[in-house]
Each structure stands twice: as structure tokens, then as C-alpha cells.
Amino acid sequence: MDVQEVFPTTKVLVIGDIMLDRYIRGVVERISPEAPVPILLQDHVDAHPGGAANVAVNLHQLGAEVYLAGVIGRDAHGAVLIEALKSLPIDLRYVLKANRKTTTKTRVMAASQHLLRIDDEERSDLDDALEQEMLQLIKRAIANIRPDIVVLQDYNKGVLTREVIRTTIALAKQIGAFVAVDPKYRHFFDYVGVDLFKPNERELFGALKMVEMDRNALQEGVKRLCHELGARYVVVTLADRGMLIYEGHSIHHVPTRPRIIRDVCGAGDAVLSVLALSLYHGYDVVSAAQMANAAGGLVCERPGVCPVPTKEWIKEVRAMGILVR
């Protein structure tokens, strides 16, 4: 069985904050005499697509026909990112190059130990001219592609402005596309009328300015959010506790199984990708969450940002007894 039997070919447009994830790897053998910090003997540096680009990679891995839209800089990190994506059949014609930094996260690693992360980025919204260019590009993309699913991946790095968000949702709805969102804090309540809204627990409580974080408060927060956004599904990821799902007037808690966690980077991108595809293709919401939990868990078992390992994922999904088509 391959992934096409789980998800038939689907056209997906991913819009959002495109990033580069860099890893400086090596070993630590001593502490610096200059300050009480470890000295890393660098072995090698590797780089991978991150943010919205990692969502695109996951969707490709899951059999989708993927188009990516966003902004990168005319800089060395942008060139590395494009080169990494060129090896995959992901359509990049809607990626803008601008006089703006390519968002780059550099993680310093000693074996599997995470020593430091360095972020090099611009977090301000696109300026007016670039926002207009982005809006025109999105209009062309939706008209030309007519995607089945539109994914908005928001890391608050400035691409998904209020106008970009609202215009994209309106255009997607005009063609009947399924709209899936992974939000951050800044434009949390601008995603009105989407099909899938997937914050994590911290984002939910932060956006709703809730202090209590017990189960009852969490359920009330999910209900309130679903009412305010008019979303079809609200799925709150709870790390090792699984997911809480609000659908219509029903709440479901879908636990995950214990795993040996090596790195949580990229797990949310895998979860969003599987949720969007499975809900679009008619899997019930509990089965979709179980499939997404499996994907996120498998990613967490691996070091660094990586896409869903599909063969292992299909094996786990089948073992759950979910009807795989």
C-alpha cells in the first residue's frame, strides 16, 4: 500500500512564512577558558526547508501536488532554500524574492543536544508595495491552480498580513477550496470562516488571554474560539497529551501514544498536513486526528526538521484499524 491509496492526488496551495532551518553540528569536548560556555568542534552544516516550505515538503511526501507562495530574500539563505526545494516537484513560481531577509533559524547541536538557536529574520508585516504584489500573486495562483486545499502557515514573520489573510480566505471560498490554518498570535482572530484552525495550547490561551489551563478552561476556550471564528473544525494540539477537537457541538480528546522524543521541530507542520488532507478526503475527525498524531510522533522520533516518513506512518495508521482507502 502506498500513500496514494490513503490520499488521492490533491492540489494544495501553501501560503505563508517560508523559512530555512540550518543545523551546525559537532561535538563538545571542553568548556571555554574565556567564559563558562561549551566549545563546539564543528563537524558539518546542513540546511532544510522550514516553516511553510516544510509544510509543502510534508504535503508532497503525502502525495499532494504542491504549490508554494510566500516571500524570501535576495540573499544567500534564500538561494540555499530555493536549491533545496528544487530537488522536489514543488511549484515555486509563486515565491517572491524581495529586499528582505530570508527567515533563517540556525540550531547549534552537539550530537543530539540542542545548545543554541540563532534567529535571523524580519518580523514586521510586508510593506504596502510588497503586500500588493503578494495579493496579486495569490489571486493569480488561486485562479490558475484552482486548488482543492489552501493552507495558511503563519509564523508571524510578516507575509500573512490581515489583508492577505482575508483576501485569500475569500478567494479560496469562492472556488470551494478547503482552508486550513496554523496560526500564531498576531492575526489569530483574522482567520474567520476557515475549515480547519489548528493552534497549540499555548497559542490558544495566549490569544484568549486565559490564565487557567485545566481541562475545563481548555474546552471552554475551544468553544469560544470556534464561535468567534466560525471554523468548521478547531483542533488544539496538546504536545504529548494529543489533541482536543471541536466539531460543531462535539468535543473529542484524542490521546497520543508514548514515544521517545528526540526533536519536536517540524512536528506541527506534519500534523497540519495530515489533518488538512484527511479531513478534505472525508475521514472522520477522530480518525484524522489519530493519523495526524501518528505523523507528528514519528517526526518527533527523528533529529532535526524532517517530513513524515510515509512507509512507517502508513504501517501505524493500518495498525490503528483506520480504514485506509
CA atoms within 13 A on the CB side of 263: 17
The owner of cell 478567494 is 171
The residues pairing with 237 across neighbouring beta strands, listed in sequence order, are 200, 243
DSSP 3-state assignment of 46? strand
Looking at residue 126, the DSSP 8-state letter turns out to be P
Q: How far apart are CA 188 and CA 15, in angstroms?
A: 16
Just list the catalytic residues: 269
State the virtual CA torsion across 150, 56, 286, 216 in degrees, nearest 10: -80
CA atoms within 13 A on the CB side of 255: 3
Q: How far apart are CA 87 and CA 75, in angstroms?
A: 19
Burial profile 162-178: b = 16 or more Cβ within 10 angstroms, e = fewer: ebbbebbbebbeeeebb
Backbone φ and ψ for 3, nearest 5 degrees, come out as -65, -25
Taken in order 285, 274, 18, 305, the sign of the CA dihedral is positive
State the virtual CA torsion across 9, 10, 16, 20 in degrees, nearest 10: 0
Do residues 18 and 72 touch, judged by C-beta distance below 8 A? yes
Q: How far apart are CA 150 and CA 153, in angstroms?
A: 10
Q: How far apart are CA 50 and CA 144, in angstroms?
A: 25
Run of H or E residues at 91: strand 91-98
